[in-house]
Amino acid sequence: MARGEDALARLTALVQADLEATNRAIVERMHSPVALIPQLAAHLVAAGGKRLRPLLTLAAARLCGYPAGGPRHVALAACVEFIHTATLLHDDVVDESALRRGQASANALFGNKASVLVGDFLFARAFQLMVEDGSLEVLRILSAASATIAEGEVLQLVTQNDLSTTEAQYLEVIEGKTAALFAAATRVGAVVADRPPREAEALDAYGRNLGIAFQLVDDALDYAAAQEALGKTVGDDFREGKITLPILVAFDRGGEPDRAFWRRTMEERAQEQADLAHAQALIARHDGIGETIRRAERYGAAALAALETFPRSEFRQALADVVEFCVSRAR
Amino acid sequence: MARGEDALARLTALVQADLEATNRAIVERMHSPVALIPQLAAHLVAAGGKRLRPLLTLAAARLCGYPAGGPRHVALAACVEFIHTATLLHDDVVDESALRRGQASANALFGNKASVLVGDFLFARAFQLMVEDGSLEVLRILSAASATIAEGEVLQLVTQNDLSTTEAQYLEVIEGKTAALFAAATRVGAVVADRPPREAEALDAYGRNLGIAFQLVDDALDYAAAQEALGKTVGDDFREGKITLPILVAFDRGGEPDRAFWRRTMEERAQEQADLAHAQALIARHDGIGETIRRAERYGAAALAALETFPRSEFRQALADVVEFCVSRAR
């Protein structure tokens, strides 16, 4: 087992009972008399995600002294997973991705319509869970995060196939589409434990930096990893014309022939069989993966620094190890 | 001007200033630094909808004694319109409908991806507006309605092209996809005015029955009205294989040749040029439109009965007239 996976296993073990309660809550609350809803949702849930975001909520709450057994952090962990699953379902529609976690995507199996609508259901159900929890502060955090996620996804769409996208815009995209939910997932831990704003902000900073690091690594992996290790098709981003940091680096550092290649494949979308391999070679030549990973490490370091607000504990150590998990996936 | 449109004009005049405030809130709060979001949202907003649902929220609040000028009913009216617009955007993706309110749909202009994501943004923004309002009861009502809308839409998808759909299932679909938001839109009027549960329930019953009547008439119009009167393509439901009451009536009352026609066109989706006209003829022969409108009138009567909970006022009269507006569209 790689170091990173080991870290995630330790975190999982630390909140095992609460994670199982979260899984039960997820199954229970995705129920609907309309049978297709739990069927389709179960397809994603049963796909055995890492439950990274719910784990973050559980661990952040415990870090802040919230007791094991819940119930609030368990309900909100389920809620965070519902929002995440809803965005995956809508992202499948958007990206026409054929594989998700190595399985046929819900979209491919059930169609675009069902994915959009079941995503809507899960999103609404997440808000029902928050209302049951009863904290307006939690509702504020997660409704703001939801709006920011949508903004990030739209910005990604707008910058797709556009090589004039700046690195700042790229970072805005990943901060929206990925880091906003990480930040909200950890921040609500401080809210349920009734901790002061300073700790809520520290957990927000931890989650936000972790999320950016996570997405940077994900974007590196799309050009670097074997499909088996990643659990999804390598080259998805390339085929979809997503402008990610490895490409921005290779484009920026490349000469005119390189740039012509990127313009043809990304902007004109005229891709041929051998293009992905050539893209990977150009990215390797200009150290696009290395640059992206080093950036991820810097955000990872910022996430670790934010944890210093809290006294040492097994939860602080576990959350620190998650940073290692996220960054080390690319090694 | 037809009697119905007259009724809507009177209601609009009655809450004119608050409706204008609602329109300003809509424009203001659909803002985002991601320019495509207000651009796409404006396409729907500028399309000049009747603002029926926000009007219902404003009038219901005033009926309950909430003062003109708001601000709560104005903010919630905007919120209801955001949820409605989000469902329209997602419905466009779903149904591939070419026309909406007589204009090219946002989907056709901006693509599926953008419609899904901007819908998500508006939905999240609606929840942010509710959080600013600060009432957990309002949040409970509108998050539950949002889940029910998604359930209704999924059930509609599941029963599509399926002639074994029962009338009860059809009613469940329209109660979910349409009436749930009408009910929530009127119910929150009682909440902002701090009125007792009896009045909240009466407004819920009013909105729910009105919504069912509204959708029944809409489904009748899809086979009955000229495109100009409806502002959308006649025969949309037929082409999409949506099972609506006019078809259920014609199928139920028809002989074997009729049923073979419906099976071919609706279940096997093998439609030819002249089929819509033949479908309209079969529906006319079996009084499918008449049956549907009579059903709508019964729900309309139930909506009127629910208003009896309240003392006479210009707002009660205006809300009663809206029933007339909804039902008379088909005459």
pLDDT at A256: 96
Q: What does the pLDDT look like over A297-313, one tens digit per residue?
A: 999 999 999 999 999 99
Give yes or no for residue B177 having a pLDDT over 50.
yes
Q: What is the pLDDT of residue A1?
A: 42
Section A100-121 average pLDDT: 75
A6 confidence band (pLDDT: 50, 70, 90): confident
Is the separation of the CB atoms in B61 and B15 below 8 Å? no
Decide if A82 touches B, using CB distance below 8 A: no
Residues of B in contact with A140 (CB under 8 A): 128, 131
pLDDT for position B308: 98
The string of pLDDT tens digits covering residues A234-291 is 888 999 899 999 999 999 999 999 999 999 999 999 999 899 999 999 999 999 999 9
* Minimal Cβ distance to B154: which of A36, A93, A146: A36
CA nearest to B176 within chain A? A34
What SS3 state is found at B45?
Answer: helix
Residues A112, B93: C-beta atoms closer than 8 Å: yes
CA-based nearest distance A37→chain B, Å: 8
Q: Is any Cβ of chain B less than 8 angstroms from the Cβ of A240?
A: no
pLDDT higher than threshold 90 for residue A99: no
Check CB contact of B123 with chain A, cutoff 8 Å.
yes
Which tokens belong to A3? 């170091």
Determine which of A5-19, B40-54, B65-79 has the lowest per-residue pLDDT on average: B40-54
Task: State the pairing for strand pair B103-104/A103-104.
Answer: unpaired
Q: What is the pLDDT of residues B178-203, one digit of tens each?
A: 999 999 999 999 999 999 999 999 99
- A158 CB within 8 Å of a chain B CB: yes
- Between CA B126 and CA B131, with CA B128 as vertex, the angle to 5 degrees is 115
Q: How far apart are CA A133 and CA A192, in angstroms?
A: 9
**B40-B42-B44-B50 Cα dihedral, nearest 10 degrees:** 170
Give the integer Cα–Cα distance in Å for B168 and A79: 32
Domains by residue range for chain B, with CATH: 3-328 (1.10.600.10)
Task: For the beta carbon of residue A281, count every other beta carbon within 10 angstroms.
Answer: 11
pLDDT at B104 over 90: no
Answer whether B153 touches A (CB < 8 Å): yes
Q: What is the pLDDT of residue A83?
A: 97
B184 touching chain A per CB within 8 A? no
CA distance A207 to A119: 24
pLDDT of amino acid B84: 96
| C-alpha distances in Å from residue B16, one per residue of B51, B234, B307 | 12, 32, 22
Average pLDDT over residues A31-42: 92
Q: Flag whether pLDDT at A225 surpasses 70.
A: no
> pLDDT tier at B141 (50, 70, 90 boundaries)?
very high
The 3-state DSSP class for residue A122 equals helix
Q: Find where tokens 């790689």 sit.
A: A2
Please state, in angstroms and rounded to a whole number, the distance separating the CA atoms of residues B272 and B269.
9
* CA–CA distance, A321 with A317 (Å, rounded to integer): 6
Mean pLDDT of chain A: 91
Helices first, then strands: H and E counts in chain A? 18, 2
CA distance A80 to A177: 14
User: What's at A270, amino acid-wise?
Assistant: A
Q: Report the alpha-carbon distance of residue B112 to residue B95 in Å, rounded.
A: 11
* Residue A33 touches partner B, C-beta closer than 8 Å: yes
Q: Do B158 and A36 touch (CB under 8 A)?
A: yes
Query: Å from A285 to nearest chain B CA?
Result: 34
Residue B293 CA, distance from chain mean position: 16
φ, ψ of residue B321 in degrees (nearest 5): -65, -30
| A120 contacts on B by Cβ (under 8 Å) | 87, 90, 123, 146, 149-150, 153
Q: Hey, are the CB atoms on A33 and B158 less than 8 Å from each other? A: no
Please report residues of A whose CB lies closer than 8 A to that of B93: 93, 112-113, 116
pLDDT digits (tens, 9 = 90+) for B230-256: 555 688 899 989 999 999 999 999 999
pLDDT value at position B110?
73
B103 — phi, psi (to 5°)?
-110, 160
Q: Which of B116, B128, B165, B170 to mutate to test the interface with A (most CBs of A within 10 A)?
A: B116
For residue B224, what pLDDT band results from cuts at 50, 70 and 90? confident
What number is the average pLDDT over the span A115-121? Answer: 95
Give the whole-angstrom CA distance, residue A92 versus residue A105. 7
What is the spatial distance between Cα B166 and Cα B104, in angstroms, rounded to a whole number?
A: 33
Which residues in chain A have their CB less than 8 angstroms from residue B29's CB? Answer: none
Q: Is the dihedral of CA B234, B240, B241, B245 positive or negative?
A: negative
CA-nearest of A155, A200, A184 to A84 is: A184
- Please give the residue of chain A at the shortest CA–CA distance from B120: A150
Selected residue with higher pLDDT from A229 and A21: A21
For the ranges A32-46, A306-320, B85-99, B228-242, which has the lowest average pLDDT? B85-99
Average pLDDT over every residue of B214-225: 90
Query: What is the mean predicted confidence (pLDDT) over B123-132?
Result: 98
Measured between alpha carbons, how far is A238 from A223 in angstroms, rounded to an integer?
A: 8
pLDDT at A109 (0 to 100):
66
Q: Is the pLDDT of residue B99 over 50?
A: no
Chain B contact set for A150 (CB, 8 A) = 37, 117-118, 120-121, 124
CA distance B220 to B65: 36
Predicted confidence at residue A96, as pLDDT, reads: 47
Torsion over CA: A219, A222, A224, A225 (sign): positive
Taking an 8 Å cut-off on Cβ atoms, the answer to whether B131 and A125 are in contact is no
Helices (H), chain B: 3-14, 16-29, 36-45, 52-63, 72-95, 106-110, 112-133, 136-159, 167-174, 180-192, 197-224, 227-230, 236-240, 245-253, 256-262, 275-285, 288-307, 314-328
Q: Cis peptide leading into A71, omega within 30 of 0?
A: yes
**Residue pair B207/B185 in contact by the 8 Å Cβ criterion:** yes
B32 pLDDT higher than 70: yes
B96 touches chain A (CB under 8 A): no
Q: What angle do CA A177, A178, A181 make, to 5 degrees?
A: 105
Is a pLDDT exceeding 70 seen at residue B326? Answer: yes
Distant-in-sequence, close-in-space partners of B11: CB < 8 Å, separation ≥ 6: B55, B59, B318, B319, B321, B322
Residue of A nearest to B32 (CA): A151
Write down the pLDDT at residue B226. Answer: 56
Average pLDDT over residues A163-176: 97
Read off the pLDDT of residues B271-307 as tens digits, 9 standing for 90 and up.
998 999 999 999 999 999 999 999 999 999 999 999 9
**Structure-token pair, residue B326:** 């909804």
DSSP for A281-325 reads HHHHHTTHHHHHHHHHHHHHHHHHHHHTTSPP-HHHHHHHHHHHH
Please check the confidence at residue B116 and state whether its pLDDT lies above 60.
Answer: yes
Of B331, B115, B114, B322, give the one whose Cα is nearest residue B203: B322
Rounded Cα distance between A116 and B94, Å, is: 8
- From the list A189, A195, A243, A232, the residue with the least C-alpha distance to A75 is A189
Tokens for A138, please give them: 């939690």
Quick check: A232 and A99 in contact, CB under 8 A? yes
Nearest to A100 by CA among A153, A158, A49: A49
Cβ contact B120–A158 (<8 Å): no
Share of chain B above pLDDT 90, in %: 80
Residue A48's pLDDT band (cuts 50, 70, 90): low
Give the C-alpha separation, A31 to A5, whole Å. 31
Q: What mean pLDDT is reported for chain B?
A: 91
**Other CB atoms within 10 Å distance of the CB of residue A278:** 13
CA-to-CA separations, A273 to A95, A131, B122, in angstroms, rounded: 20, 51, 40
In this complex, is the C-beta atom of B116 within 8 Å of any C-beta atom belonging to chain A? yes
Residue at B3: amino acid letter: R
